[in-house]
Amino acid sequence: MNAESDAAAGTTGAPALLDSVLHAVRVGMIVLDDSERVVLWNRWMEEHSSYPASSVLGKPFVELFPELTNGRAHGAIRGALQSKLASLISQTLNKAPFPLYARAEDRAAGVRIQQAVQVVPLDQPGKAHCLVQITDVSMAVAREKQLRELAMELQGQIFIDGLTGIPNRRRFDEHVENEFRRAKRSGSPLSLAMIDVDAFKDYNDNYGHQKGDDCLILIAAALTRILGRPCDLVARYGGEEFVALMPDTNADGAQALAEAMRHEVESLAIEHAHSGVAPHVTISLGLLTQTPSHNTVISHMIGAADRALYQAKRNGRNCVVVHGDKAPA
């Protein structure tokens, strides 16, 4: 109480000083009286609203800002005038409520200042008044946006294979878990293909690791071209092994896609004089289609697809083997 009366005593001594402080401060300040009419409008408000104080003094708040009628800021003003409650209006939850602009070109483009608004009742004898303070938080918002984008990028990189640019094993493990649960709930078939590059060790030994890397990049892109639906996923499983997940895909559909992948890689026509299968690079695929039930386990599905892949290798490579199919006589 003492501090307040001291301050009041100070103002009567130097109203001109207080006035110049109000106008120098880099915060928007509006004071409203109990009928929501403007009684103070500082220089910051003049500069950013383009209304001189002389044109707004005595005008009701809703006449100046018709778009804010009964909105959050207006409610806060009523709360301060009628119930003496202070309110905070955050930029995050209320995108720039006041039409205030940093520069003329921003005004032309309709880009408002990002605002944090505080509405507080003023402790005045007699009529109720409230102070609306508007702070420019554009810098903080921009900084956080940058941080958030960086975080998103980093999060994305964790799930991408560094060499081929397609999803990695970690991404696959997460995706397969989700799709597996979804298939279980909806009772829809889930297809899985394990894919291995034929005689890749011989390719590396004869053409060098640089060429080997290029070969994997081309294959990853070829496989991804075939599986284009948003829920499909081709990932690098490790070394020269890839995995393809095809949700809502029955055995026939999966076999057609697997054949298409095999064909797509063959038609890349990457020379491989030491393959023993063909004069170019080929892949083998082990395929499994299952509608998961309560006691199905993901690792068993992956194991079954792996066994089918092994069978494809034994069947002479460059082919698709479906789990459960009999080996050729």
Interface residue list for another protein (CB under 8 A): 71-72, 75, 79, 83-94, 116, 118, 120-121, 123, 137, 140-141, 144, 147-148, 151-152, 155
* Least gap, CB of 283 to another protein (angstroms): 36
Q: Which is nearer to another protein, 159 or 207 (CB)?
A: 159
Q: Which helix (H) or strand (E) holds 247?
A: strand 241-247
* Least gap, CB of 151 to another protein (angstroms): 6
Q: Running DSSP on this structure, what letter comes out for residue 162? A: T
Q: Which residues are known catalytic residues?
A: 240
Buried b (16+ CB within 10 A) or exposed e, 28-58: bbbbbbeebbbebbbbbbbebbebeeeebee
Q: Which is nearer to another protein, 121 or 247 (CB)?
A: 121
Q: Which is nearer to another protein, 87 or 164 (CB)?
A: 87
- Write the burial class of residue 107 (CB in 10 Å: 0-12 exposed, 13-18 middle, 19+ buried): middle
* Least gap, CB of 278 to another protein (angstroms): 47
Taking a C-beta distance cutoff of 8 angstroms, is the pair 290, 297 a contact?
no
Question: Cα-atom radius of gyration of the chain, to the nearest Å?
Answer: 34
3-class secondary structure, 191: strand
Q: Which is nearer to another protein, 35 or 90 (CB)?
A: 90
* Least gap, CB of 84 to another protein (angstroms): 5
Cα 241 to Cα 200: distance, rounded to the nearest angstrom: 10
Cα 69 to Cα 62: distance, rounded to the nearest angstrom: 6
- Write the burial class of residue 214 (CB in 10 Å: 0-12 exposed, 13-18 middle, 19+ buried): middle
Taking a C-beta distance cutoff of 8 angstroms, is the pair 194, 308 a contact?
yes
Beta-carbon-side half-sphere exposure of residue 116 (alpha carbons within 13 Å): 11
Both tokens of residue 274?
Answer: 């030491």
Closest CA to 284 of 252, 262, 299, 256: 262
* Least gap, CB of 305 to another protein (angstroms): 32
Side-by-side strand order, sheet with 283-290: 233-238, 241-247, 190-197, 283-290, 320-322
3-class secondary structure, 42: coil
* Least gap, CB of 118 to another protein (angstroms): 6
* Least gap, CB of 31 to another protein (angstroms): 17
Tell me the sheet residues that pair with 40: 31
